[in-house]
Amino acid sequence: MTDAAAPPRLSPHLPPTRPPATVTATGPGLSQRLTSPALLLLPAVLFLAVIYLMPLVDLTRISFTGPSWSAHFERVFATPLYFDSLVRTMQIAFTVACLCAVLGYPTALLIHRSRGSVQMLVAVAVILPYFIAILIRTYAWMVLLGRNGPINKLLGTLGLIDSPLALLFNRGSVLLGMTAVLLPIMVLSIYASVARLDQSLTRAALASGAGPLAVFWRVLLPLTFPGIGAGFLLVFVAALGFFITPTLLGGPGDQMFAMHITQQADSVTGEGFLQALAVVLLVITLVTVGIAGRLIGFEFIWGGGKLDEMARRPKARAARRSRRGPGTLLADALGWPLLRLMGPLLASAGLWTVRIMGGLVVATLMVPIIVVMVISFSKASYLTFPPPGWSLRWYEKFFSDSNWMDAFWNSLGIAALSALIAVTLGATAAMGIVRSRIRCKSALMLLLVSPMIVPPVVLGLSLYSLFLQLGLVGTHLGLAAAHAVGGIPIVVVIVAASLQAVDRRQEQGAAVHGAAPLTVFRLVTLPAIAPGLAAAVFFAFLHSFDELVLSLFLSSPRMKTLPLMLWADVNYQLNPVLAVVSTLEVLLVVGGIILCRPVLTRGQAH
Amino acid sequence: MAQILARRDMGAEAPRETVTAAAGGREVIGAGIEIREITKKYGAFLAADRISLDIEPGEFITLLGPSGSGKTTLLNLIAGFHRIDGGQILVDGKPVQHVPTHRRGFGMVFQSYALFPNMTVAQNVGFPMRMAGMDRATTDRRVAETLDMMRLSEHAGKSPAQMSGGQQQRVAIARAIVMRPRVVLMDEPLSALDRRLRESIQIELRDLHQALGSTILFVTHDQSEALTMSDRIAVMDAGHIVQVGRPTEIYRQPQSRFVAGFVGESNLIEAEVVARREGALTLKMPGGQIFEAEARAIVPGRIATVLVRPERIALHEAAQPGTMPATVTSALFLGEVLRIEVALEDGQTLLVRCTDTAARSLPRIGTRVHVGWGAADCWVLA
């Protein structure tokens, strides 16, 4: 009764934020752009249409050429080699996603619950590997698991084994390596949903008599389930198209689907069939994402930042959730009795599970990197741990070898150019997405971030034929543009998030007091998003600097990037120069993270 | 329960006398809580500094204080969310400081409602029952009963997100009382609600307390809420309890300038003691005006601080025995009362509140008036 009597809350009715038209005052081009923010989307959309959508469409077209339209696809599914590999790929991706979920949850909880320096340490241990190239992290696992690696050495010293174990090149090492490489994605996704929870919810459950286990099962797990789901999908989709880690860590029986595509690309035979392989992988990926997007919303791709257009959705979902779904029934029938059996366990058991599992995960993420950094100072000319002596000879070799230095400067130039393209196009597009009021906003956002989920192997293959026609293969500009396709989503996500955090009333305040639209942007908006822009520049740069798969397709023997040099060396001779490059990359990332820390901590506070 | 419901149906306008009379023979299920010298440190910051407080079984006690005074910390310590660094908490004579929260058997209401968004209203309310291992039939019956009590029956199947703030908070209250706990903790449960809703739930809570007989420990920074609802109020400041007493005591006989200033509006007059008699003082204001004040406490020094509440000051148009001349400096019409500021001849300003009557019109600024008060209207701060 009283609720109805409550006076309706007055909300200030804000007009659509459109600066007053000043067509006569300034040039028409400038004011036009400012009056319709949607136009800001144009450059990025055009760029992606030409360098991303068109090649993919062309790829699909070629895959249908043949004796009959489905001839190549029939061959893919009829040849046991490819079909088995497809099944294997799905199995591996699913297993990896499950492993990541099981290991990632305690780690996310550990970050959330610890305080001070412990929290800092765990967070860095997760975030640092996230930004280090997959190639380098895989290389670190090769070092760790190698015949002369620390694990075999340790077991030998303890007298547990007589001869070194073959830890590498089997299904186990593939799963371990891929899980370790993809785990940070899962942890960050779960952490985001745990951190968003109102802390008084767990307190309310405790005060209602729920023990720690019941709090976890009844409150924490159901409420963070979207985060787990998002992480699971991101890991699964990334694992589907994985190429580097299974190539380096797998044996002959662990061929994943993406590896067939690169092998076929090397042998020139299969025009059409090659494209069909790529299309199969692309379609599986897109279907997975499409189904997931229908179920949990496409926001999972860019980490839950909802657009205002979609704000109405959660209500409908809340209504749907209120019915007792099969999940709840299952939880009641199975989980709850199980949980009650565990009741007599010590209250601190859960706490220790989190600490021990989280600690193990942190160790798994950090140990390979540390081992590689140590080995870079080794005196030995082969990989062995602990190093027999110390020297800087491998650093000298790296800095004096003109091949390495050429590759380094190539990478630096390409990454700088790529970051420039990605940030220019991505930031304007983010502005257009956040500030415009067009109808198909979510579709456009989906287009802008979709390069994140397209398997790089497929993208590389499709770009190759376009770049051949344009004469861009093996050029700085070509590689920079290709890398920018993957850089734009990163920039759009970061800049859109910082734009959404800008207080519109400050802008309106500046406008009311006489600032012209450009002045408002310069004095209010730009300073507010500057940290986000800086982070975007850094991550776009890093994305290009680390990029290997596209470069494999698009470079020429005369122009090599650092990851390409690494790739060649990892495949032919595992020497400590690789460790030197890895160490330098770690230092680069650490430096970048320190520079970007204000942004990262601000993101956490929200 | 029928009796409770009948009374509730009379609505929020039910006069307080009826409520108190009906609750005369109520059964007390609440536990007594003894807080003995408990201390909580966050680094070097003392959030609670050797706090002691005795709470009677079945009492409605309010922790009142400005933000940062330690009232929520104290509540969280009693709830068991944080470990105490020293001291003891006894519930019905048994120490509970090492008992984990979920075994303390309390109910709790949070400012943010803290309803589980993944459960329906009925599931939320039934949560403590299920946690206690009650069978489904008992749970369903008790949930229905409690929802009925809070007039939420028709919302049982809804999700909390579909309800208004006031409804959500009533669900949270239902969840806190469904087990009929001996102690219910409430952390600023009404501060997220608008004023009308707040006032109606205040009365509802008060009734509920009478009906349940649980001990309720209520935290608020709103002094009028504390005065309205509590059996006793504990005023907190900077990690200490500075005064505990019935609402009338807290309001009429504050023990410090802080309590006098925090609870209600006040005129604090510094005056020189010119004569002392048994139970009374004769005081001289800086401007030379003489007045009498009742005083129970011994005033040690020559200067006494005297509290005169604004509604105790009478405003006259003409001089009368014992009044002082003054000039109106501000006059506000607040509805049922007028809030008038006057300046005495020596410049001392006084705040006066008087009810709006047909006989009195709002004085203009600059009007000459005379103010006065009786000896019994003064409270001399020790």
Mean pLDDT over B117-146 rounds to 91
* Nearest-CA distance A244 → chain B (Å): 40
What tokens appear for A221 in the block? Answer: 């797990």
User: B78 pLDDT band (50/70/90 cuts)?
Assistant: very high
Of A3, A218, A319, the CB nearest to B164: A3
- Chain A CB contacts of B196 under 8 Å are 2, 5-7
Contact B167 A318 (CB under 8 A): no
Mean pLDDT of B275-288: 84
Helix (H, G, I), strand (E, B) or coil at A436: coil
Kindly state the average pLDDT of the residues B36-48: 88
pLDDT band at A5 (very low <50, low <70, confident <90, very high): very low
**Dihedral angle sign, alpha carbons of residues B230, B236, B241, B243:** negative
Please write the tens of the pLDDT for every residue from A485-496: 999 999 999 999
Whether residue B12 has pLDDT greater than 70: no
Instruction: Determine, yes or no, domain membership for A541.
Output: yes
pLDDT of residue B177: 93
Q: How far is CA B50 from CA A305, A339, B32, B39, in A?
A: 46, 39, 19, 5
**Which of A197-201, A222-226, A345-349, B244-248 is the least confident region?**
A345-349
Please state, in angstroms and rounded to a whole number, the distance separating the CA atoms of residues A118 and A124: 10
Q: Which of A217, A42, A388 is nearest to B118 (CA)?
A: A217
Of A198, A208, A222, the CB nearest to B118: A222
Task: Assess if residue A337 is contained within a domain.
Answer: no
Instruction: Say which range, A166-170, A409-413, A492-496, B228-232, has the weakest mean pLDDT.
Output: A166-170
**Could you tell me which residue, A297 or A86, shows the higher pLDDT?**
A86
| Alpha carbon of A230: minimum distance to chain B alpha carbons (Å) | 18
Structure confidence by residue, pLDDT tens digits, B204-235: 999 999 999 999 999 999 999 999 999 999 99
Closest of B290, B361, B278 to residue B321, by C-alpha: B290
Judging by beta carbons within 10 Å of its beta carbon (0-12, 13-18, 19+), is residue A233 exposed, middle or buried?
buried
The radius of gyration of chain B from alpha carbons, rounded to an integer in Å, stands at 24
pLDDT bin (cut points 50, 70, 90) of residue B89 is very high
A167 in a structural domain: no
Range of the domain at A41: 36-56+390-606
Residue A120: half-sphere exposure toward Cβ, Cα within 13 Å: 5
Which chain A residue lies closest to B110 (C-alpha atoms)? Answer: A200
Tally of domains within chain A? 1
Judged by average pLDDT, the poorest of A17-31, A274-288, A360-374, A528-542 is: A17-31
High-pLDDT (> 90) share of chain B, %: 53
Region A279-302: what's the mean pLDDT?
A: 87
Q: Do A321 and B196 touch (CB under 8 A)?
A: no
User: How large is the average pLDDT for residues B317-342?
Assistant: 90
Which pLDDT band, with edges at 50, 70 and 90, does A599 fall under? low
Residues 6+ apart with CB under 8 A from B259: B235, B242, B243, B250
Q: What is the mean pLDDT of residues A579-601?
A: 80
Mean pLDDT of chain A: 82
- Nearest CB to B118 within list A2, A204, A321: A321
A23-42 pLDDT per residue, tens: 444 444 555 545 677 888 88
What is the ipTM, given to two decimal places? 0.76
Domain membership flag for residue A132: no
Question: Nearest-CA distance from A322 to chain B in Å?
Answer: 5
Q: For A259-263, B91-95, B261-265, B337-341, which range has the lowest pLDDT when averaged over its residues?
A: A259-263
Query: What domains appear along chain B, each with residue ranges and CATH number?
Result: 3-260 (3.40.50.300), 266-380 (2.40.50.140)
Does residue B301 come out as left (phi exceeding 0), alpha (psi in the -120 to 50 range) or beta?
A: beta
Task: Say yes or no to pLDDT of B67 above 70.
Answer: yes
Confidence of residue B3 (pLDDT cuts 50, 70, 90): very low
Query: How many of the other CB atoms lie within 10 Å of CB of A256?
Result: 27
Burial (CB < 10 A; 0-12, 13-18, 19+), residue A451, is buried
| A369's tokens | 């990197």
Instruction: Output the domain CATH number for residue A500.
Output: 1.10.3720.10
Q: Which two tokens stand for residue B84?
A: 């105490």
Residue A513 is assigned to a structural domain of this protein: yes
For A198, name the nearest residue in chain B, comparing CA atoms only: B114
**Inter-residue contact A373 to A387 (CB < 8 Å):** no
Q: Is residue A50 one of the residues assigned to a domain?
A: yes
Q: Cβ–Cβ of B127/A314 closer than 8 Å? A: no
Q: Answer yes or no: do A218 and B116 touch at CB < 8 A.
A: yes
pLDDT at site A516: 80
- pTM of the entire predicted model: 0.80
Residue A332's pLDDT is 66
Chain A positions touching chain B (beta carbons under 8 Å): 1-3, 5-7, 198, 200-201, 203-212, 214-215, 218-219, 222-223, 314-315, 318-319, 321-322, 340, 347
pLDDT digits (tens, 9 = 90+) for A493-521: 999 988 988 888 888 888 888 788 788 88
CB pairs under 8 A between A and B: 109
Minimal CA separation from B101 to chain A, in Å: 6
The nearest CA of chain A is from the CA of B108 a distance in Å of 6
Residue A559 located in a structural domain: yes
Q: Which of A204-218, A472-486, B112-126, B182-196 has the lowest mean pLDDT?
A: A204-218
Tokens of A488: 């734009």
CA distance linking residue B13 with residue A578, whole number of Å: 80
Cβ A209–B131 below 8 Å, yes or no? yes
Contacts from A443-447 at CB under 8 Å and sequence distance 24+? A444/A41, A444/A45, A445/A302, A445/A307, A445/A492, A445/A496, A446/A298, A446/A301, A447/A45, A447/A48, A447/A53
Q: What is the mean pLDDT of residues A120-148?
A: 87
Q: Please, how many CA atoms are within 13 Å of residue A249, restricted to the half-sphere of its CB?
A: 29
Per-residue pLDDT tens digits for A523-560: 888 888 888 898 899 999 999 999 999 999 998 888 88
How high is the pLDDT of residue B4? 39
Rg (CA), chain A: 26
What's the mean pLDDT when you consider all of chain B?
A: 86
